[in-house]
Chains A and B, each alone.
Chain A
């Protein structure tokens, strides 16, 4: 049973105890604020054994104070003021710094007001066992409560409050330490005011309070030499008081008006392009523009001027002498802005801003210009934004930015949301449900970014679910890559054949009401089979081959006839065009077409009759094309193999059936085709592909990761698909020179390879000839290190990254000499073979069908602008789908690593270690590639190492001597998955184990 009392507040004290004032809100409303304060005499001083103050709390300050300090042999308590905590938190947190400390409420509240993160650190300290901190609620104690006087700034008022409290403590101690009769009078401990403000110290001395500066206090301490290092430089000069709301200064330059931008771009003075943030360094971005070979570099926040990844921006390029080279340092946004405050940052130029600013400028000046001029890039600044590309971003709430983490709290809080993507800035948002959103993935959209605000402002859209739950992670991935994943609507499903699953190819003849057999060849007797990855449901290609009487070989590629079901311009077609592609995630597939078509009616399953679009060649034994014809057909596949099954069947010498023979025939042709392609200069590129083993279909817990194995049969299918695509490309380009849907891969600009060439020359002595794809292929073949079999793959991966990505285009839109496909070394190419999962293929099917006179071409496919528009979408979706797939693999690799780490721990092994290769060096870290897991990671060092940018090496102190690490070196890394304390998102953390253990630095 608790005691309920009425607290009396005498009317005579109203001056001190109640307050009424008006204030103007951010939105300009004037609001009346009423406050009252109940002063009490039972606020405890916190000194053990005090006769007047009784408290049941056990952790009190020692009665005699701290006795170890030279200046105060009689014992003392320190009473620091606000600025000490704001500037010297590292010192206070040190385990060596633990004199008994009185923390005043005034100080605590001021710290809270200035910086929440610092306040939270301070709060944690008051609770820690090894600190003696007593929080004294001076504002509630009747003797120490003060009111702000007229013409007194809030700062002065607080300083006076602190002095009043210090004086009270001294009298209180002397009163309660009166000698007990018969005992010797003991000198009582003093309360020492610690402040950096000289004026404050002077006033304190006048009223008889002992006060010292932090430096002087620390100098006379036991461990002074260690502790003095922790004093921050800012401690030496005064910190300006918080600038009032009037001081809302612009942090970013204003944008130029749109007409000026457009005129400038037209005149060539300004440049327009997509903004790309740098994922390693949030203070840097780049914008590729046609006018320069290298992308334009943007250094620093002001020059990036509020651009967000993907925005279309307009840039002014600086004169050439101001050009810079990109920084060689990893700059983590979270580390630098850790103490930034969601509520005021950017709105008031407070010391926090200055701190962030000084750190940032240090980083920027660090990336100075000692770099060779060859590495300099055109540098500029953003002067305007043509189009924002903002969308909803998947974020986590930053827990340190919360004022209250209690779920009962209903008040609005301003918090930071950290986007999952490292390319985006933190977003500030106001929400009432911040505490419940912690540990959740949430969707946040950016609303605006004012020039007075350091961060963009946004709002909460919805919660996706707990961090690391599969549903939330999957949905966030789809949202992050803008994959349309909603189920198909009724209008779309209505476009499916009404027979549904019962749909069959009607018998030939009079029962064929829909005229399906018109212009269709009957290939049901041909020995056709399909070869796909295991578990494949959407089989869109099948093959056959047979010897012709004249010694030539007939080979056929049969592709699902999707265009028979997906008619132009109906809802299903529009939806497929909007989706562009099927997205494959590790545990899920987001279909482009309803699954009835994708996995059933169009899928070329074995033993059922299916409609197909066939491409049939007559080839000589040397795989020279004699003739090719395209026809719509009906096939009945005889078998559906996995790559492995097909391989085993082919290699089994006992099998001589027709099916096996046709696979062998196809294989011999494929080998010849490949040899020809290679001779023509096709590149054999490598990309890190791994396969995730799932526990079972239901739980989908990853067990392990392994690299994908490639078999001969993979190559078999690939060669014939390439052949079909190239043949079809020729045919449709010939028939529709203006609107043929083609695919090209532009040769990469030479400059893209400069860095890789340089690295290879300096570290391994290889040279890379990039004059043509053939030359590149040849020189890549020579990059072999006998001791490192993986080296060649690594170089290939890095070379691939220097290249551009392939794209769809309409043949009438670009010059004919740019049709070529660089990677495949083919002068023309398209996608024809996977219409179930790619929309471009559906268009190609329609065009091919028209080209052979089977169906008339739909009007939209005659329009160049329409085709361009559709292909723009498809290109973007295609890119996004690839990234989503990769991100999904990454997530599962992370889960697998975590599981593996736990298993290892369960078995008593220390941790997960893997071989890795250095692919980049930074001033303060190395980028590594773990080929076994197909992941890239970053090993960062806390302190700078000797960094040789010329030779791409860093030198780190080892156990005995210094160790040099350069690009392509093999190292061993320890891989852990750790949760970010703030955002709860799992991060793969890597530390070097060999050649040196980097956990120490």
Chain B
């Protein structure tokens, strides 16, 4: 489980908030700036079709206008001895943020502190969830490509990684579903856009819906103690809502694969993803 540190919008918040100060976060009619109400999540779209380059599993996910692509390679033989463990697989996560993804065009190299921090957070989130002990002396590579940012970057990365891992057939104990929650005055808001994220104290929570366990809590702003519990609980619940959506996407994809395999005339080998869990 990850500690409650960090994570962020990878944009220069001071600048992007400039023009927005005239937009109300939550108006008296109870609508947010994009027409949602307090507890409504943004539209989520999931694409699990393979995305070239021969990845073992991939996923493309959008939360509203935030878009990330994840490719998973492995489990495969570890390339470097130094990162080989005799009893488990090594999980390697690399995040790349496209220069055009944020409001301000900015190239971030691989050594960028924010990016390292983000991949480290993801790594510590997923290591305990993936059944790494099944694959000793091997490594699982996860490449995350951020294409567009409009708030909830960490949440999108977590959800997309879960889907890509599932798609790659890597056994996990459970789904990991993350949602960001914030507080405006005393009202809780879920799934924040960039605009909201810049203005509100917020916390990202990742849950494992089956066990109800929390695998990640990340907070970069200051949130009043009295509000924390409510937001934390709500974000957790929202995670289960997201879970339904993710599970359906995985199921649809599997059905589609099964159907297409049957149409070719070969029986399913049963080695595919969806068997044990859902």
Q: Quick check: is A32 within 8 A (CB to CB) of the other chain?
A: yes
Closest Cβ–Cβ distance, residue B229 to chain A (whole Å)? 14
B100-108, B132-140, B257-265: which lies at the interface: B100-108
Q: Determine which of A18, A37, A137 lies in contact with B29 in the assembled complex, contact meaning CB atoms within 8 Å.
A: A137
> Would you call A140 and B201 a contact (CB within 8 A)?
no
> Would you call B148 and A34 a contact (CB within 8 A)?
yes
> Would you call A5 and B41 a contact (CB within 8 A)?
yes
Known: A34-B103, A38-B42, A404-B199. 7 other contacts (CB 8 A): A6-B40, A23-B19, A31-B16, A40-B35, A408-B201, A409-B200, A411-B21
Nearest A residue (CB) for B22:
A113
> Would you call B15 and A31 a contact (CB within 8 A)?
yes
> Would you call B40 and A412 a contact (CB within 8 A)?
no
> Would you call A135 and B28 a contact (CB within 8 A)?
yes
Residues 34-74 of A contacting B (Cβ, < 8 Å) = 34-40
> Would you call B31 and A137 a contact (CB within 8 A)?
yes
Nearest B residue (CB) for A140:
B35
> Would you call A32 and B28 a contact (CB within 8 A)?
no
> Would you call A25 and B35 a contact (CB within 8 A)?
no
The CA-CA distance from A11 to B65 in the complex, in Å, is 12
Q: Quick check: is B14 within 8 A (CB to CB) of the other chain?
A: yes
Residues in A neighbouring B41, C-beta threshold 8 A = 4-7
B2-10, B88-96, B156-164, B237-245: which lies at the interface: B237-245
The CA-CA distance from A31 to B11 in the complex, in Å, is 11
Residues in A neighbouring B242, C-beta threshold 8 A = 6
A 378-411 to B, binary, CB cutoff 8 A, 1 in contact else 0: 0000000000000000000000000110101111
> Would you call A403 and B21 a contact (CB within 8 A)?
yes
The CA-CA distance from A26 to B42 in the complex, in Å, is 31
Closest Cβ–Cβ distance, residue A649 to chain B (whole Å)? 65
Given A4-B241, A9-B43, A126-B28, are A38 and B201 also a contact pair (CB < 8 Å)?
no
> Would you call B19 and A403 a contact (CB within 8 A)?
no
> Would you call A411 and B100 a contact (CB within 8 A)?
no
> Would you call B190 and A4 a contact (CB within 8 A)?
yes
> Would you call B34 and A32 a contact (CB within 8 A)?
no
Q: Quick check: is B64 within 8 A (CB to CB) of the other chain?
A: yes
The CA-CA distance from A4 to B19 in the complex, in Å, is 30
Q: Quick check: is B86 within 8 A (CB to CB) of the other chain?
A: no
Q: Quick check: is B17 within 8 A (CB to CB) of the other chain?
A: yes
> Would you call B39 and A2 a contact (CB within 8 A)?
yes
The CA-CA distance from A140 to B234 in the complex, in Å, is 25
Residues in A neighbouring B31, C-beta threshold 8 A = 137, 140
Residues in B neighbouring A457, C-beta threshold 8 A = none
Q: Determine which of B15, B25, B190, B194 lies in contact with A29 in the assembled complex, contact meaning CB atoms within 8 Å.
A: B15
Q: Quick check: is B44 within 8 A (CB to CB) of the other chain?
A: yes
Q: Quick check: is A123 within 8 A (CB to CB) of the other chain?
A: yes
Q: Count the B residues whose beta carbon is within 8 Å of the partner chain — how many? A: 53
Residues in B neighbouring A793, C-beta threshold 8 A = none
Q: Determine which of B150, B194, B199 lies in contact with A409 in the assembled complex, contact meaning CB atoms within 8 Å.
A: B199
> Would you call B201 and A7 a contact (CB within 8 A)?
no
Q: Quick check: is A184 within 8 A (CB to CB) of the other chain?
A: no
> Would you call A412 and B21 a contact (CB within 8 A)?
yes
> Would you call A410 and B198 a contact (CB within 8 A)?
yes
Q: Quick check: is A8 within 8 A (CB to CB) of the other chain?
A: yes
Q: Quick check: is A772 within 8 A (CB to CB) of the other chain?
A: no
> Would you call B241 and A5 a contact (CB within 8 A)?
yes
Given A135-B29, A140-B31, A413-B21, are A38 and B40 also a contact pair (CB < 8 Å)?
yes
> Would you call A32 and B102 a contact (CB within 8 A)?
yes
Residues 203-222 of B contacting A (Cβ, < 8 Å) = 221
A to B CB contacts below 8 Å, 9 in the list? A6-B241, A7-B41, A23-B19, A25-B19, A32-B104, A38-B40, A38-B43, A137-B29, A410-B199
Residues in A neighbouring B185, C-beta threshold 8 A = 406, 408
Closest Cβ–Cβ distance, residue A400 to chain B (whole Å)? 15
Closest Cβ–Cβ distance, residue B99 to chain A (whole Å)? 11
Q: Quick check: is B76 within 8 A (CB to CB) of the other chain?
A: no
The 6 closest A-B pairs by CB, nearest first: A140-B35, A9-B43, A38-B35, A7-B40, A411-B199, A6-B41
Q: Quick check: is B20 within 8 A (CB to CB) of the other chain?
A: yes
Closest Cβ–Cβ distance, residue A410 to chain B (whole Å)? 6
> Would you call B104 and A139 a contact (CB within 8 A)?
no
Q: Quick check: is B168 within 8 A (CB to CB) of the other chain?
A: no
Q: Quick check: is A170 within 8 A (CB to CB) of the other chain?
A: no
Q: Quick check: is A30 within 8 A (CB to CB) of the other chain?
A: yes
Residues in A neighbouring B17, C-beta threshold 8 A = 411-412
> Would you call B22 and A34 a contact (CB within 8 A)?
no
The CA-CA distance from A404 to B43 in the complex, in Å, is 28
Residues 110-154 of A contacting B (Cβ, < 8 Å) = 112-113, 123, 126-127, 135, 137, 139-140
Given A343-B22, A410-B199, are A38 and B34 also a contact pair (CB < 8 Å)?
yes
Closest Cβ–Cβ distance, residue A121 to chain B (whole Å)? 15
Closest Cβ–Cβ distance, residue A448 to chain B (whole Å)? 18
Q: Quick check: is B68 within 8 A (CB to CB) of the other chain?
A: no
Nearest B residue (CB) for A44:
B29
Closest Cβ–Cβ distance, residue A343 to chain B (whole Å)? 7
> Would you call B245 and A6 a contact (CB within 8 A)?
yes
Q: Determine which of A2, A11, A27, A126 lies in contact with B234 in the assembled complex, contact meaning CB atoms within 8 Å.
A: A2
The CA-CA distance from A31 to B105 in the complex, in Å, is 7
Nearest B residue (CB) for A127:
B28
> Would you call B43 and A30 a contact (CB within 8 A)?
no
The CA-CA distance from A425 to B18 in the complex, in Å, is 25
Closest Cβ–Cβ distance, residue B57 to chain A (whole Å)? 24
The CA-CA distance from A346 to B238 in the complex, in Å, is 46
> Would you call B201 and A410 a contact (CB within 8 A)?
yes
> Would you call B221 and A39 a contact (CB within 8 A)?
no
Given A38-B40, A137-B31, are A32 and B103 also a contact pair (CB < 8 Å)?
yes
Residues in B neighbouring A139, C-beta threshold 8 A = 35
Nearest B residue (CB) for A1:
B237
Residues in B neighbouring A404, C-beta threshold 8 A = 21, 24-25, 199
Given A25-B15, A34-B148, are A411 and B40 also a contact pair (CB < 8 Å)?
no
> Would you call B21 and A32 a contact (CB within 8 A)?
no
Q: Determine which of A31, A34, A406 lies in contact with B65 in the assembled complex, contact meaning CB atoms within 8 Å.
A: A34
Closest Cβ–Cβ distance, residue B8 to chain A (whole Å)? 13
The CA-CA distance from A408 to B199 in the complex, in Å, is 8
> Would you call B40 and A112 a contact (CB within 8 A)?
no
Q: Quick check: is A414 within 8 A (CB to CB) of the other chain?
A: yes
> Would you call A410 and B103 a contact (CB within 8 A)?
no
> Would you call B190 and A6 a contact (CB within 8 A)?
no
> Would you call A34 and B16 a contact (CB within 8 A)?
no
The CA-CA distance from A126 to B34 in the complex, in Å, is 22
Residues in B neighbouring A38, C-beta threshold 8 A = 34-36, 40, 42-43
Q: Determine which of A7, A34, A126, A408 lies in contact with B36 in the assembled complex, contact meaning CB atoms within 8 Å.
A: A7
Q: Determine which of A105, A127, A343 lies in contact with B21 in the assembled complex, contact meaning CB atoms within 8 Å.
A: A343
Q: Determine which of A6, A36, A408, A414 lies in contact with B44 in the assembled complex, contact meaning CB atoms within 8 Å.
A: A6
Nearest B residue (CB) for A403:
B21
Q: Quick check: is B110 within 8 A (CB to CB) of the other chain?
A: no
Q: Quick check: is B183 within 8 A (CB to CB) of the other chain?
A: yes
Residues in B neighbouring A5, C-beta threshold 8 A = 39-41, 241
